[in-house]
């Protein structure tokens, strides 16, 4: 009788402590949004308890928690890819529990709970060991569950009062993933059974596409993906073809070869390399391939992959990067003149005040307001015409600046303006360089009609959009630049500090745009020559124009801008 009573008490106590353990599985941390989340706690606790039960029964009782944190994002500083407040909370949570699922609900000036961030820490023993048999799988899992949280939230209209549904969907997805992982990872060797849940990729096809879009990759959908090589050889081959809208079968490997041949017609020494990946069991180790793509010293890299199943619809994803930029030689000339500017009432605008005789290169110096120290020393993109055009007179607000004599493309210059990163970003976006409309022009360059099997002349379409009032790449004709034709624009990439007039600032932005699109430097410079030959009495592009283009490319390279289009989450928002 005593034994029965003891067993009954023991069972009741065990049940009590189990409930207590599960009740504490979901931990609500601070929330800067002020949104009342009390009514959602029972539902969240119940979902988290089921997840924690997996750890409780596999040797990690009480060691796994689900944490919920809300923060306000004031500025986009990141640490390890996460916003600073969330990164700090990760460090704090790591002191509270060895294993966890952490939600970060971002609130910012656009609204309450605008985005979910997710961090995940899982054990590396028991059945969890097989996660590490696939490179980058732990990182992919973090991305996977962050995608699930945000996709669910967007499906629900991004309504704060439905945030709990996103967290429950993520918690349930992790629970189901771990249950399937437990079945797939029995014994000392990983056993991948005939079960789609046993894929070591971690992503579903739709999740992988969201993941690729997060890197700003361009894509094109096709009615059919065709596996033309069940075991494609290692190297630069995909082993896939696509069926286009005209029902033509295009072998992607042949298309890449044709693209290389077309480029080599005009730039024989250009090194070009393709970096193929496919959506397979391991996602072709995408992250490792992408890292190689970013680090290799090739002139032009093409990251390209197929997402879809054989004989079904799918998409081709790609991204290009140009690495053929070296430090350009300045067209500066020796002189005994130095030109001084002084701060005006605006922090980033100065006025030309005087010229002095000093030995050395022609250069400009921007004095502080007191005229004692100086903020910038810069060279002139055009060391011949700019100094000659400098004048200290005022130009009334709203009045067109006077022409320089009979040269109707040059204006007297009396002011200087610093172009910081945000200013340059603004010019690129407002001139449609990153608009979705640009995708079709980008397609003409990367994938011309019939998928790269036409000569290079078919790809000149992009250059045609760099000259003229209504052309998106003619930055000098846009309102910001054109209304400041009497200004020199100073750019600073950390190595070169240079001043450009409004035309050369347009060349600088064109250079930045071509780098962003992955266009080789030789093409960007040749495009400017071709444009000049067509519009300026068959003259080659000038040295100062070419120098400004190169400076724009180097600036974009140093900023890490690497792709043409990434929607609202574009490359400048890293």
Q: What string of H, E and C letters represents the secondary structure of 378-429?
A: EEECCCCHHHHHECCCCCCCCCCCCEECCEEEEECECEEEECCHHHHHHHHH
The phi-psi region of residue 48 (left if phi > 0; otherwise alpha if psi is between -120 and 50; otherwise beta) is alpha
pLDDT of residue 458: 35
Cα–Cα distance list, 382 to 328, 332, 385, 460, 545 (Å):
14, 8, 6, 28, 8
Q: What is the pLDDT of residue 135?
A: 82
Q: For residues 426 and 200, what is the distance between their CA atoms, to the nearest angstrom?
A: 42
Share of the chain above pLDDT 70, in %: 73
Look up residue 183 and give its two tokens.
């079945």
For the chain, the domains span 2-192, 207-322, 334-573
**pLDDT at residue 23 above 70?**
no
Between 401 and 385, the more confident residue is 385
**Which SS3 state, helix, strand or coil, does residue 146 take?**
helix
The segment with the largest mean pLDDT, out of 20-34, 284-298, 552-566, is: 284-298
Position 322 scores a pLDDT of 74
Which of these, 26, 84, 25, 12, lies nearest to 56 by C-alpha position? 25
Among 109-123, 277-291, 450-464, which stretch is predicted with the lowest mean pLDDT?
Answer: 450-464
Whether the predicted model's global pTM rises above the 0.85 cut: no
Burial track 42-53 (b if 16+ CB lie within 10 A, e otherwise) = eebbebbbebbb
**CB within 8 A of 421, min separation 6: which ones?**
559
200 versus 16: which is more confidently predicted?
Answer: 200
| Percent of the chain at pLDDT exceeding 90 | 29
Phi, psi of 239, deg, nearest 5: 80, 25
What is 2-192's CATH number, 3.90.930, 3.40.190, 3.30.70, 3.10.310?
Answer: 3.10.310
Summarised one tens digit per residue, pLDDT across range 432-452 is 555 545 544 444 444 443 333
Residue 445 or residue 107, greater confidence: 107
Q: What does the alpha-carbon distance between residue 362 and residue 378 come to, in Å, rounded to a whole number? A: 9
């Amino acid at each position: 009788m005593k034994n029965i009573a003891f067993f009954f008490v023991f069972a009741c106590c065990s049940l009590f402590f189990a409930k207590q353990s599960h009740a504490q599985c979901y931990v609500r941390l601070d929330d800067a949004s002020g949104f009342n989340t009390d009514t959602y706690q029972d539902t969240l606790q119940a979902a988290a308890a089921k997840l924690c039960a997996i750890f409780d029964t596999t040797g990690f009782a009480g060691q796994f928690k689900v944490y919920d944190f809300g923060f306000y994002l004031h500025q986009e500083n990141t640490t390890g890819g996460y916003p600073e407040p969330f990164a700090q909370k990760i460090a704090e949570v790591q002191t509270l529990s060895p294993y966890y699922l952490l939600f970060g609900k971002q609130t910012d000036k656009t609204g309450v709970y605008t985005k979910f961030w997710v961090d995940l820490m899982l054990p590396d023993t028991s059945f969890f060991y097989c996660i590490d048999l696939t490179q980058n799988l732990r990182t992919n899992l973090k991305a996977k569950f962050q995608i699930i949280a945000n996709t669910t939230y967007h499906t629900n209209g991004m309504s704060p009062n439905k945030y709990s549904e996103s967290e429950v969907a993520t918690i349930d997805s992790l629970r189901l993933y771990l249950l399937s992982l437990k079945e797939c990872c029995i014994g000392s060797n990983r056993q991948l059974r005939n079960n789609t849940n046993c894929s070591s990729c971690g992503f579903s096809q739709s999740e992988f596409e969201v993941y690729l879009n997060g890197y700003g990759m361009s894509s094109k959908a096709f009615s059919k993906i065709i596996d033309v090589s069940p075991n494609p050889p290692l190297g630069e081959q995909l082993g896939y073809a696509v069926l286009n809208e005209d029902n033509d079968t295009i072998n992607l490997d042949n298309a890449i070869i044709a693209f290389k041949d077309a480029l080599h017609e005009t730039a024989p020494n250009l090194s070009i390399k393709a970096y193929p990946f496919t959506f397979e069991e391991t996602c072709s180790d995408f992250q490792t391939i992408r890292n190689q793509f970013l680090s290799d010293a090739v002139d032009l890299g093409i990251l390209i992959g197929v997402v879809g199943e054989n004989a079904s619809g799918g998409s081709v994803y790609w991204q290009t990067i140009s690495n053929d930029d070296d430090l350009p030689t300045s067209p500066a000339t020796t002189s005994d003149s130095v030109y001084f500017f002084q701060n005006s009432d605006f922090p980033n605008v100065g006025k030309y005040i005087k010229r002095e005789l000093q030995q050395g290169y022609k250069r400009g110096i921007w004095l502080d307001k007191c005229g004692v120290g100086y903020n910038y020393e810069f060279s002139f993109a055009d060391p011949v015409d700019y100094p000659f055009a400098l004048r200290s007179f005022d130009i009334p607000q709203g009045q067109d600046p006077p022409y320089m004599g009979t040269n109707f493309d040059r204006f007297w210059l009396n002011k200087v303006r610093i172009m910081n990163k945000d200013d340059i970003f603004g010019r690129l976006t407002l001139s449609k360089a990153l608009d979705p409309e640009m995708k079709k022009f980008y397609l003409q360059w990367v994938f011309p009609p019939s998928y790269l099997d036409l000569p290079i002349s078919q790809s000149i379409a992009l250059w045609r959009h760099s000259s003229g009032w209504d052309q998106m790449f003619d930055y000098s004709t846009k309102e910001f630049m054109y209304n400041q034709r009497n200004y020199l624009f100073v750019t600073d990439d950390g190595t070169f500090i240079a001043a450009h007039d409004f035309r050369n600032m347009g060349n600088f932005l064109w250079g930045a745009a071509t780098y962003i699109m992955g266009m080789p430097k030789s093409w960007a410079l040749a495009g400017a020559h071709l444009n000049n030959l067509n519009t300026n009495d068959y003259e080659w592009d000038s040295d100062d124009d070419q120098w400004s283009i190169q400076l724009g490319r180097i600036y974009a390279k140093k900023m890490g801008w690497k792709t043409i289009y990434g929607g609202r989450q574009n490359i400048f928002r890293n």
